[in-house]
C-alpha cells in the first residue's frame, strides 16, 4: 500500500528515516529510490552524553532537517521511524508541529514477531 501512495506523490518526494537509540538520534534523508541525500545526528550538533536525548536537541535536529528539505525543494515527506525510546512520541509531536507535508508514516519494530513457539517433542 505504501508503494502505491509513493507512486502518487513521486515528484518532489523524500523519505525521512529516523533511528531512535538509547543515547542518540539518527535521521537520514533519502530519495524514493534509496539514495542517501544527507544525514543528521544529535552528535553532529556537538552534544555529548545524556544531553543528546532532550527536547531541545530534538527540536534543533528537526530544524536542520527542515532546512535540508527546503534546500532540496521537496514538497512531500514519507516517514519511517525505528527504535524503542521514551522520546518517540515527543519526536512525532514536534515533527507534526514544524509543518512537514506528511504523506505516509511507518513504524518499524525492532523486536521480531515470528508467531507462536513450536512445541517440544516429549522424550521418555
| Pairwise CA distance, residues 76 & 15, whole Å | 9
Q: Given the C-alpha cell 513521486, which residue does it identify?
A: 10
CB 77 within 8 A of CB 14: yes
Strand partners, 38: 29
For the chain, the structural domain boundaries read: 2-104
* Residues contacting residue 85 through CB under 8 Å, at least 6 positions apart: 20, 21, 22, 53
In this predicted model, what pLDDT tens digit does every residue of 5-43 receive, in sequence order? 455 445 678 899 998 887 788 899 998 888 898 888 887
CA 73 from chain centre, in angstroms, equals 20
pTM for this model (two decimals): 0.75
Architecture of domain 2-104: 2-Layer Sandwich (3.30)
pLDDT number for residue 80: 92
pLDDT of 68-102, one tens digit each? 888 888 878 899 998 877 778 888 888 888 877 88
Cell numbers 534523508 correspond to 29
Amino acid at each position: 500500500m505504501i508503494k502505491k501512495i509513493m507512486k502518487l506523490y513521486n515528484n518532489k518526494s523524500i523519505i525521512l528515516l529516523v533511528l531512535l537509540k538509547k543515547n542518540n538520534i539518527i535521521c537520514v534523508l533519502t530519495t524514493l529510490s534509496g539514495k542517501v541525500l544527507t544525514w543528521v545526528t544529535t552528535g553532529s550538533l556537538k552534544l555529548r552524553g545524556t544531553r543528546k536525548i532532550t527536547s531541545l536537541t530534538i527540536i534543533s535536529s528537526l530544524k536542520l532537517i527542515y532546512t535540508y528539505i527546503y534546500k532540496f525543494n521537496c514538497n512531500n515527506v514519507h516517514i519511517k521511524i525505528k527504535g524503542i525510546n521514551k522520546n518517540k512520541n515527543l519526536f512525532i509531536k514536534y515533527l507534526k508541529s514544524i509543518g512537514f507535508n506528511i504523506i505516509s508514516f511507518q513504524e518499524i519494530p525492532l523486536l521480531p514477531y515470528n508467531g507462536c513457539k513450536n512445541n517440544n517433542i516429549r522424550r521418555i
